[in-house]
Amino acid sequence: MINNLKIFGFRFVIIFVIGFVLTLSFPFYFLPNIGKFIFPFFEYCNQFWASFLHLNESAYLKVISDSTGLYLHLITLLIISLTGSLFWSVFQKNSKNAKLKKWVYIGVSYYLALILFKYGFDKVFKHQFYLPEPNTLYTPMGDLSKDILFWSTMGSSYSYSVFSGLIEVFPAVLLLFRKTRLIGGLIAMVVMINVVMLNFGFDVSVKIFSLFLLGLTLIVISPYRRALIIFFSGQKPIQLNLECHNFKKKKQLIIYAVVKSVIIGLILFESLGGYFETNNFNDDNFPRPYLHGAYTNVIPNQSIKRVFFHRKQFFIIQNQQDKFMSYGLQFSEDLTQLILTDYEGGHFVLKYKVNTDNDISIQGVLQQDTINVTTKKENLKDLPLLKNNSFNWSFD
């Protein structure tokens, strides 16, 4: 009975993991984003659950990170996994599937390595924890949400961002090889426990996915669970049985080596290709868009305190009460006008002129308010948070 439950549980986990990986959209560089094509069907399922559970009409039903739609999607995945496991058990009773288990552990290890490489290199090259945007730098600390505050703090330190990335890349390398897979899984588990706590502690919206990755680390180390229990309980040491690949013919060994090399090559290409394409290996030093920065109004007694040009094409206004208004931004072809769009679809055109020393004059009508400001560009590197010489061995 217990053995049958173990087999059923194993099958349930297989179906759930495969379903989660395939249906959750992930922004890969060149690998196919299968979830992007599959999730419309599951969003239809989410509509059923939303109606069945009488959820508010404002509930976001798309299957993306930590949305209501993702939680509803988990219900669908659990039902599919349970149903699939039942049918599997009916048509194939009491089969231990030793070979299947081996390939499942390998597949999970490779997928986990891929994701750790992706997130790790994103940190190493400062694409995840990037420098805070100008408007964030001038937002009062108490007005920042926890996740933005955490992201900005991490982004202000190049050395720690690189370090945090390397401790994800290191176990990813170990996971690719049989002899180091256990230690790689253990290190990855510790790393993911920290990531999960950061996501919950700072309300970062990757909670479910990070929990899923933590679960994958448990799957990776599960074949060694008995040995680990004995080791950590201080009992008599036992010999780890690392399963070897037994090839009867040399041709099989060559095929295995080639296939494994190709898979590892694809993982590395997926993880690093984007950086080579853009030649951006340190986002701190990567050129910013036209006019990017913070500009302080030099004319006294006006409602506008600063304006900001965000790298993702946003024009942001900060008033004297430190309230921010954001607009989508485009420049006219002759670079004399700012074409702005608000969240309600309204369009506004402001004239601007870049003066000497990168000062900018802006005139026009925005939301029925007349704007006529002259601004001076701030040197963001002079801010204490971003000063290169801000490291001190002592507090003297």
Res. 173 pLDDT band, cuts 50 70 90: very high
Residue range of the domain that includes 340: 293-382
- Residue showing tokens 């290191």: 170
Q: Is residue 336 part of a domain?
A: yes
Q: Are residues 71 and 177 part of one domain? A: no
Q: Is the pLDDT of residue 219 over 90?
A: yes
Q: Are residues 37 and 27 part of one domain? A: yes
pLDDT value of residue 80: 96
Structural domains in the chain (count): 3
Q: Is the pLDDT of residue 245 over 70?
A: no
> If you ran DSSP here, which 8-state letter would residue 381 be given?
G
Instruction: Output 82 or 246, whichever has higher pLDDT.
Output: 82
Last residue of a domain, one of 236, 262, 287: 287
Q: Are residues 304 and 344 part of one domain? A: yes
How far is it, in rounded angstroms, from Cα 352 to Cα 375? 11
Q: Are residues 155 and 280 part of one domain? A: yes
Question: H/E element holding 254?
Answer: helix 250-278
Q: Are residues 299 and 264 part of one domain? A: no
Burial class (CB within 10 angstroms; exposed 0-12, middle 13-18, buried 19+) of 123: buried
Question: Which stretches of 125-180 are DSSP H helices?
Answer: 134-137, 146-155, 158-175
Q: Are residues 123 and 248 part of one domain? A: yes
Q: Are residues 363 and 312 part of one domain? A: yes
Mean pLDDT lowest among 26-35, 196-205, 374-383 = 26-35
Question: H/E element holding 231?
Answer: helix 225-232
Question: H/E element holding 311?
Answer: none
Q: Are residues 129 and 65 part of one domain? A: no
Q: Is the pLDDT of residue 308 over 80?
A: yes
Burial class (CB within 10 angstroms; exposed 0-12, middle 13-18, buried 19+) of 238: exposed
Kindly state the tokens that stand for 378. Answer: 């701030």
What is the three-class DSSP state of 46? helix
pLDDT value of residue 89: 85
What is the three-class DSSP state of 361? strand
Last residue of a domain, one of 271, 287, 303: 287
pLDDT value of residue 108: 96
